[in-house]
Each structure stands twice: as structure tokens, then as C-alpha cells.
Structure 1
Amino acid sequence: MSVVIKAENLGVEFYRSRRRKMQLREMLFHQRNSAPRETFWALKDVNFEVKEGEAVGLVGANGGGKSTLLKMIAGVLIPDVGKVTVTGGVAPLIELTGGFIGELSARENIYLTAGLHGLSRDQVDERFDDIVDFAGPQVREALDTPYRHFSSGMQVRLGFSVITTLDEPIVLVDEVLAVGDRNFKEKCYKRMEALLEGGRTLFLVSHNENDLKRFGTRGLYLSQGELVMDAPMEDVLDRYNADVDAAR
């Protein structure tokens, strides 16, 4: 199996808080903003490889760097040190509603989003009914309604449906499997299982152990921005839970 994701000495540094806005007096008299500039490493010296067809779950506490790592793999965040190399396209199930434009209709957003990921208009035409059927009858009834009028649930359903119909070989998932009602949630699970059976590579962030065990065979444990364990999913969860219990 070929390597499709490779992180080498990966690191990114963030400010702990935004600098306060300068007051009018400071701007008029050119006084320096003396707000503190303390930083921290959201990720530090992270190294790993993911091979084609692997299903990897990212484990760790909030603020541990999981979502930051996914954004680097997706190419929307640039590291300060090191690099991450991704071979093949990425279907990002990270911020499902982020790429949709509120003033456009749902129909227009489907063509736009799929087109930005490389699908031709003919390809979208072929998949259009499947996309809408998966998103549900409420979405179908509102296809020509501006997207901004959709409920948050409808927006997420449409986003999940569009992104998972793409042909990208790598799927990034960040806490979006538990969307909608029970029936739609199960549809999402079955769609994810079908993608894995088709040979896709999965990178999953979740706090739900059942989801991690259901989809992940290998786990990466991030703690305070550092990779502390890379092992089978069950072993990583045992270590993480032991650390959580010890910290109580």
C-alpha cells in the first residue's frame, strides 16, 4: 500500500488570545499596543504516515490539536515548521456548511461545491438525484430556496450528502457523524462504511468511542499538541481513558 498522508516534524504556533484593539488615543498618538503576545504550540514535532485504505481515528482532549491537524491535511492551514504531504484529493467533512453560499439556492450550491472538487456538470447531473435523496425530502422541496433560509439541520444534511458523493480518495471527518435524527445518523454510518469498503482512506476525529471503534482500526493519540501514541484503536483508547482517569 502506498503512503497517502505523511507528516514530518509538523508544528504550528498560535497566539493564546487576540490582541486587543487599539484605543482612539493610541491611534492618534501612535502609541504601541502593549497587549501580551504569548504563544503556544498547537502541534509540535508530529510525525506519522497513513497508507492507502487505512482508517485512522484521532483521539485526545479538547484543545489537543486534533482539528488543527485535520485542517493541515485538508490544506487550509499552513504549518510553521515541518510539512504534511498528501497524495490524492481530499473530501473534507470538517465544516460542512462552510463552503456554501447563503444567497445561492441549494441547487446552485450543489453544482458549485461539487464543481470546486473537480466534478464536471455532467457528473453532477448524474449524481444529483442521489445527492438530494440522501439529504432528504425537506431539502428536495427547498432546492430552489436560498441556502441561508435552510435550518442548520438541513444545511448539514446537504453538506454531508454533497461531500460524500465526491470521488476524492481521502475522507477527513471532524465530529460530523452524529448529525440529524436517528434515521439520518444511520444513513451517514452506512455511507461511511460504503466509502471504506470502496478503498477510501479515512481520518476521523470524534469523542464518541463507538464511532472510533466502528470505523477506526488505528489510533493516533494527541496530547497538548504532541503525538504520544500510534497503535491499534483499542490500545489507544485504553491509554487515553487511563490518562483521563488519572487526571481526575
Structure 2
Amino acid sequence: MEEYIIEVDHVTIRFNLASEKVDNLKEYAIKMVKKQLMFQEFLALQDVSLKVKRGEAWGLIGVNGSGKSTLLKAISGILQPYKGTITVFGEIAPLIELGAGFDGNLTARENIFLNGTVLGHSRKFMQEHFDEIVDFAEIKDFLDSPIKNFSSGMKARLGFAVATMVNPDVLIVDEVLSVGDFLFQKKCQSRMEEMLKNGTTLLYVSHNINSVQSICDHAVWLNKGQVVESGAVETVCNNYMNLQKERRK
């Protein structure tokens, strides 16, 4: 068995930001052809390295815009590094963006099967776990309603229920659970803790530091795309909170 399940090796993620305002697609195309469209380089991640062992729970902390979600998307394979490499040994179940993998015009029932297909599950498998998903998400009375009519909390419940009906090798959870009510957040936390006991590796982003400290055993602190500190969750979170307190004075 490999020592690490996730290896992020000196990764840089670069975005090109348009440095001028373009009002429509036609103007954009003309400027692009004439090579008149200017871009400003933005490094969302800069030389980030991280090694995660199987079964560990890592919290990603930092202020908005620090690169947490970008790192998760890169590990999930949604974004490709400009420099560096990312290696993941196993299956990933990502919960990064609310409603990702859902079609707003389809019913909740139809979306359960759609989302299952996106995650690589057969229709037979989804049928076998259908009742379990519905019960956990608490949407029995809304199965035949279009998901576009769901609240953000209901979408989060359904997405989490589908993604965690089996134990993936790696579970990635961004801030999506913050939209749910308190009781459902506790329910999700209990399931994540159960999955960790069964060997799932967790990457968890939350602005609730108490939640990170409760669920995770390690943490990485990002600021402006760079790693400030990584290691034991209590040490990293305490240093992060102490800095925030100093800045508020």
C-alpha cells in the first residue's frame, strides 16, 4: 500500500484575467483575432506542496480568496496545474460546488440517478441505494419536484447523500454544508466521522474553525495562494486564529 494517497508537488495554478472591459462576444472575438485582447496573470496557487496519508482528515483554512477551493478543484482534476504535479491513488467523491452534477430542470428522483452516473455508479446500484439516499437527504415529499425549486440547503443534503452512500477513497467537502440547518450539519459530521473510521481520506474546507478542529486531525493554512503552515490541526488553527485576532485590534 502506498504511503500517501494524495501528493501535491510544487503546484502552481495560473488564471488569465482580462485587463479591459469587453461588452459582448463579437467584440471579444474581434480583439482576440487581432491580438488586441490583453490579459493580466493571476496565480491562484503558488508552489503548493501537500502530502496526505490514507485515512487522514485535512482541513483547509484561510480567508476568502486564499486558494482553498482552487486546491480542491486541482486535486479533483477539475483544474490542471500550470506547474507541478498532483497524484491521487484512489476514487474521489467531490462536493465542491452546490448543485454540481444536478440538472435543475429534472426532478430530484431523476437527479439521483444522474448524479450517481456522474460518480460512476450503475443504475442497478443506484436503485439498491435509492431509499437510503432519500431518507438521509430528507426529501421524500419532494422527489418529483424539479431541483431548480429546491432551496440551497435541500440541494446540499441531496448532493451529500449521493456522494457519501459508499465509502470513497477520498471525500472532498467544500463550504457546501454551511447552507444546511444545524441538525443536518451534525448528521453530516457524524457520517464523515464514520467514513474516516472506515478508512476514507477527507479534505474539508470550512470557515468554521471549531468544525475543522472537531473533524480533522491535520490542517493546511493558505494565504494568497501560498502555504503559510501545515501540520497538526490544533497548532495550525490556533496560529491562524491568533493572527486574525491581532488583525482585528
TM over 0.5: yes
> Which residues in structure 2 correspond to 1:195-234 (within 5 Å)?
195-234=195-234
Give the aligned partner of residue 113 of structure 1: 115
C-alpha contact 2:102 2:115 (8 A) present in aligned 1: yes
Unaligned 5+ runs, structure 1? none
Q: CA deviation at 1:56?
A: 0.6
Question: Could you say which residue in structure 2 is the equivalent of 1:84?
Answer: 86
Task: Select which of 127, 133, 136 maps to 1:134.
Answer: 136
Q: Is 1:67 aligned to residue 69 of structure 2?
A: yes
Tell me, in whole angstroms, the C-alpha distance in 1 between the residues paired with 2:23 and 2:60: 39
SS of 1:12's equivalent in the other structure is strand
2:50 match: 48
Structure 1 residue 39 corresponds to structure 2 residue 37: no
* CA distances 1:33-92 after superposition (whole Å, capped 9, x unpaired): 866522221111111211100111111111111110000011111111111111111111
- Provide the C-alpha distance between the structure 2 equivalents of 1:16 and 1:29, rounded to a whole number of angstroms: 15
Equivalent-residue separation in structure 2 for 1:53 and 1:22 (angstroms)? 49
Q: What SS does the aligned partner of 1:141 have?
A: helix
Amino acid at match of 1:236: V
Mapped contact 1:170–1:202 kept (Cα < 8 A)? yes
Whole-angstrom CA distance in 2 between matches of 1:76 and 1:82: 15
CA contact (8 A) 2:196 2:202 kept: yes
Residues 21 and 121 of structure 1: is their aligned pair in 2 closer, same or farther, counting only changes over 3 Å?
A: same
- Secondary structure, counterpart of 1:178 in structure 2: helix
Percent identity between the aligned chains? 42
Deviation at residue 17 of structure 1 after TM alignment: 5.0
**1:239 and 2:239 correspond:** yes
Deviation of 1:6 (Å): 0.5
Question: 2:39 is paired with a residue of what secondary structure?
Answer: coil
Give the partner amino acid of 2:10. Answer: N
User: Per-residue displacement from partner, 1:180-215 (whole Å, max 9, x unpaired)?
Assistant: 222222211111111111110000111111111111
Match status 1:4 vs 2:11? no
CA contact (8 A) 1:20 1:35 kept: no
**TM-score with structure 1 length normalisation?**
0.89
For 2:197, give the aligned amino acid: E
Report the 3-state secondary structure (helix = DSSP H, G, I; strand = E; otherwise coil) of the residue aligned with 1:235: helix
Distance 1:217 1:204 in 2: 11
Normalising by structure 2, report the TM-score: 0.89
Query: Cα distance, 1:18 vs. partner?
Result: 6.3
Residue 146 (structure 1) shift: 2.0
> SS state of the match for residue 177, structure 2?
coil
- 1:94-109 to structure 2, matched below 5 A, reads 94-109=96-111
Range with greater deviation from structure 2 (65-74 or 236-245): 236-245
Q: Where in structure 1 do 4 or more consecutive aligned residues deviate above 3 Å?
A: 15-19, 22-36, 245-248
Q: Secondary structure of the equivalent of 1:78?
A: coil
- Residue 95 (structure 2) aligns with: 93
Aligned AA (2:89): T
Consecutive unaligned residues of structure 2, counting only runs of 5 or more, are none
* Deviation at residue 162 of structure 1 after TM alignment: 1.0
Return 65-74 or 151-160, whichever deviates more.
151-160
Q: State the Cα RMSD in Å.
A: 2.5
Report the AA paired with residue 207 of structure 1.
H
